[in-house]
Chain A
């Protein structure tokens, strides 16, 4: 694991809407919002349900299962010094079993092996002392 000083990639800055999500990641739990009124999930988190407008939202632990909705293979690093050792890397829009989409990286397989609807499962990665990112690997 890199020391915090050495980690040059963008780190998420939690805000009042997102703090429970990032706190969950630190405990290796994928937390998403659930609407107590219409029973649907949403991501990213908000102060209000995007489906029905309710403010009665609670945090539920997601199963961690998902599939590839879309993906890209980054080959040209931007900024170069930060990502030069990572290319090629895969960013995917992951469709969680709970019905929401979440951007993440697909790790644990070659970029060429990623296909649409490929089953995935969450794999947490600690990147700084404070930050754990929810990545995904083939299920």
Chain B
């Protein structure tokens, strides 16, 4: 199946991420989401060597579980927030909000934009915990059959992949174990206890084919980045990380909500299959050029689909690609060097952008990929998602 060719991101290297900020990642922040959003955003602004008054745009995404952009602009006393926008979206938007910041600046709606995601994902609204019990809209075709949670949704995709290509528990386990090895070296990570394959296999069955360790963490915390033009970036405190390319989208029949995949043509492939061409074309690079990849890993399986969809290996080959050690920190494509959503924490994928920037700045300490020059970040796991290519 093909996808109609369309215009691609056309602002290669013209915009940059100039600041990053986070809060602690925990299971119980004891703070409002507003406070988390403000702290991460203030940290990002200060990391860039700027003051809130230098920012005039702010953008985020949420599931009605966060503080809106104007609340953060108000809290930070940003005097003239021109582009203050909230996307009602899931992890699929984690890179899209950065691209939308670029679009806003290019359009003259703002000059310097903060992008953030803030959530009390464990102590507050738990995305994995189920949905409302009056099954309205697209939910009426799923929830009455006890098909309710995101692990249950993605397990259905994973099974279809297993039917088409074969997939062993160990092949999924390799992802969990590899990412934990990275998290062990990451002081921000919530899960730093080493994990063996036996630990993985012994973890509790949740929804076949997933065990507990196939499923990401739930986290209270926030991340933020500051985006501005390459021209302004040159004079700022940090070495800029340039946005080479990006893409957002998916295939046909993306569904009536993020859960809905009833009409999706082929559940062994996700959105990444459909945006790959736009992404690589926009950046003018190929998978071989990527030094480090922060790939959306709400589940272990999500990484397999994206490795194949973006062309790092052939269809049905991700299990053996991973078993060969290629995604390890010393492999040819180090993946989720922070431990990912599976072991660092679940800031809905925005923590991947933070890690990519740190890697490209050479600030990742013991988990640094030597001389990392080009990074991939991705966001989303099902019918729609976003991705970026960044460079130092």
Enumerate chain A interface residues (CB-CB to B < 8 A). Answer: 8-15, 18, 42-44, 50, 69-76, 78-79, 83, 86, 89, 91, 93, 101-105, 111, 116, 127, 131, 133, 135
Contacts and interface: CB of A to CB of B under 8 A. Distances in A.
Contacts of A12: 135, 140-141, 143-144
Interface string B154-195: 011101100100000000000000000000000000000000
Contact of A89 (B134, B135, B146): B146
B147 to A, nearest CB: 4
A93 B156 contact: yes
A103 B145 contact: yes
Nearest to A18: B140
Given A89-B146, A91-B156, A79 B130 contact: yes
Interface of B: 129-149, 152, 155-157, 159-160, 163, 204-209, 253, 256, 262-263, 267
B137 A15 contact: yes
B134 A91 contact: no
Contacts of A105: 145-146
A44 B141 contact: yes
A11 B139 CA distance: 10
Contacts, number: 110
A72 B135 contact: no
A130 to B, nearest CB: 12
A23 to B, nearest CB: 13
Contacts of B136: 13, 15
Contact of A11 (B131, B134, B206, B263): B134
B147 A103 contact: yes
A100 B159 CA distance: 19
A44 B259 CA distance: 14
Contact of B135 (A10, A71, A78, A83): A10
A76 B156 CA distance: 15
Contacts of A102: 141, 262
Given A103-B147, A104-B145, 7 more contacts: A10-B131, A10-B133, A10-B148, A15-B137, A73-B208, A75-B207, A91-B147
Contacts of B144: 9-12, 127, 131, 133
Contacts of B159: 70-72
